Amino acid sequence: MTLISLAVFLLLLWIFFIVYKTYLRRYKSVKNVCVLVLGDIGRSPRMQYHAISFAREGFVVDIVGYPGSPPMREISENERVRIYYLRPPPDLQNRLPRLLCYIVKVVWQTVDLLWLLFNKRPISNSLMTQNPPAIPTIPICWFYCVVMEAQFVIDWHNYAHSLMALNLGKNHVLVRLAKFIETTFGCRAKNNFCVTKAMKEDLENKWAIQAKVLYDRPIDKFHPLTLEEKNEFLGTLSEKYDISVPFSPNRSGFIVSSTSWTEDEDFSILLNALQEYENVCETGELNLPDVVCAITGKGPLKEFYMAIINLKKWKHVVVKTPWLENEDYPKILASADLGVCLHTSSSGLDLPMKVVDMFGCRLPVCAYNFNCLSELVRHNENSLVFADEKELGDQLIKWFQDFPDNETHRHLRKKFEENMFSSQQEHNDWHGNWKLNVLPYFQA
C-alpha cells in the first residue's frame, strides 16, 4: 500500500469515526433503557417489574419481546414505557426436522432482533436482557452494546443450558452451545444480576462472573385482602372462571397453584397428593372439608395433565385450570387458604417467583424442596416444605383437618405470615429492593 493509499484510508476511517460519534451523540439517550425478553412480555413478570421501576425513577424504557398475554397495566398505560413487539417465527414443527426447525427459528430471531434494536430511536444507553434464553439473545445484545457503546446487563433467572438439558440431554450440541454462550458472554456484561446467593456463588466459582443478588419481591398489587374483599372476589370466580368455592352447608378449602406447565414442574405429585386427600375423605375417619384446587397458567404440558385430571372421579376434590386476567391473579392468591409450588429448578439455583407472590398476599405455601429453597421457604418457620407426594398429601390433610375452626392451624398460619420474608433481610417490596440493588448501576 502506497503512502497516498494509506493516507486516504486513514482519512476515510477518521471521517467514519467522526460521523459515527456524531450519530451516537444525536440519537443516544442517557436516560433510555432497553429491557429485552425473548418471550411473551405479559408472562415475564420480573422483566416487567424492571421496566416499571426504571420508569418510576425517570428513565424512558423500551421493552422488547413477543406479543401474547397482555402486559401489566403499569406497562401498557405508562407514558415512559414503549413496547416493541418482535415478529413470532414461523411454525415449521410439522414440516421440517426438529434441529432444522430450531436453526430456522434462531436465524429468524437473530435477523428480527438485530433489525429492531438498530432501528429503534433513541439509542438505548443500557440494555438489560434476561437469561434464559441464551440463544440468540445474549450474543446479539452484546454485539449491539459494543456497536452502540451501551451498557450490557444480564439478569440471570436460571441457566439456559440446564433448562435445555431437560429435553435434550446435557451432552446435546445445542446444550453445549448454550453453555458456551453463557460462559463466554456472561463475563463480558458490564453488570450481572441474579436471583439467589447460591447462583451468585455458582457464577463466580464456575465462570468468574461477578453478579449482584436481586431477590424477587412482590409488587404492590400482591397484598392481603379483607374478609369482605375475599368474599366479593370469590363470588365473582364462578361467573368469570367457573370456579365455585362453597360456603354452605360447609366451607370448602381453597388451594391455588400456578405453573407454566413445563418439565421442571411435575404436577403428578400434586394430583397424587389430592388422590390421597380424596381417599381419606372417603373413609370419613377425619373431619376434612371438600377442597377446590385452582391451577393457573399456560404451557406445553397442560393438555397432558388435563387428560389425567379428566379421568378422575373425585367426590371431595375439584380441580380447575383457569387462565386469569392480570388483575385477578393477586386476588385469587389472597383469597386462597393454601398455595402449592412444584417448582424444582433445572439448575437448583433459582427460586420460584410464584411463592414470592403468594407471600406478598400472605398465603402460606407447601413448596417442593430443592437445593437453595431455604433462601426463601423454611419448613415450619414461614411455610411447609415437602420432598414427595406422600409428604404433600400429609400436609394437605393436616392443614385442612377440622377446617376452618382449628385453633392450632390459626396460630401456625399467623406465625408463617409474620416470618414470610425473614430469610431475606432486605426490603420486602420490589421497588425498594430494586432501588437498593439495581438503580446505583444505572446512575451517571
- DSSP for 302-370, please give it: HHHHHHHHHH---SSEEEE-----TTTHHHHHHH-SEEEE-B--SSS----HHHHHHHHTT--EEEE--
**For a pLDDT cut of 70, what percent of the chain falls above it?**
93
Residue 425 has pLDDT above 60, yes or no: no
Q: pLDDT tier at 9 (50, 70, 90 boundaries)?
A: low
Residue 13 has pLDDT above 70, yes or no: no
Residue 360 has pLDDT above 70, yes or no: yes
Residue 21 has pLDDT above 70, yes or no: no
- What is the pLDDT averaged over residues 143-148? 93
The residue among 324 and 51 whose pLDDT is bigger is: 51
pLDDT of residue 22: 65
Residue 145 has pLDDT above 90, yes or no: yes
pLDDT of residue 30: 72
pLDDT digits (tens, 9 = 90+) for 63-103: 999 998 899 999 999 999 999 999 998 887 777 788 888 88
Task: Give me the chain's average pLDDT, please.
Answer: 89
Give the DSSP letter of residue 121. Answer: S
Segment (H or E) for 6: helix 3-27
CA distances from 41 to 84, 218, 301, 417 (A): 10, 18, 20, 31
Separation between Cα atoms, residue 118 and residue 238, nearest integer Å:
48
3-state secondary structure of 91: coil
Greatest Cα pair distance, the chain, in angstroms, is: 99
Q: pLDDT tier at 106 (50, 70, 90 boundaries)?
A: very high
pLDDT of residue 14: 64
Output the nine-digit C-alpha cell for 274: 389430592
Segment (H or E) for 295: strand 291-296
3-state secondary structure of 412: helix
- What is the pLDDT averaged over residues 414-430? 77
- What is the pLDDT averaged over residues 195-205? 95
pLDDT of residue 299: 82
Q: pLDDT tier at 260 (50, 70, 90 boundaries)?
A: confident
pTM for the structure as a whole: 0.88
pLDDT of residue 443: 82
pLDDT of residue 440: 95
pLDDT digits (tens, 9 = 90+) for 243-256: 898 887 788 999 99
Least confident of 14-23, 212-221, 231-240, 251-260: 14-23
- What is the pLDDT averaged over residues 393-418? 91
pLDDT of residue 6: 66
The residue among 277 and 90 whose pLDDT is bigger is: 277
pLDDT of residue 61: 96
Spatial CB neighbours of 409, under 8 Å, sequence gap ≥ 6: 399, 401, 402, 403
Segment (H or E) for 138: helix 137-148
Residue 333: Cβ within 10 Å count: 27
pLDDT of residue 419: 87
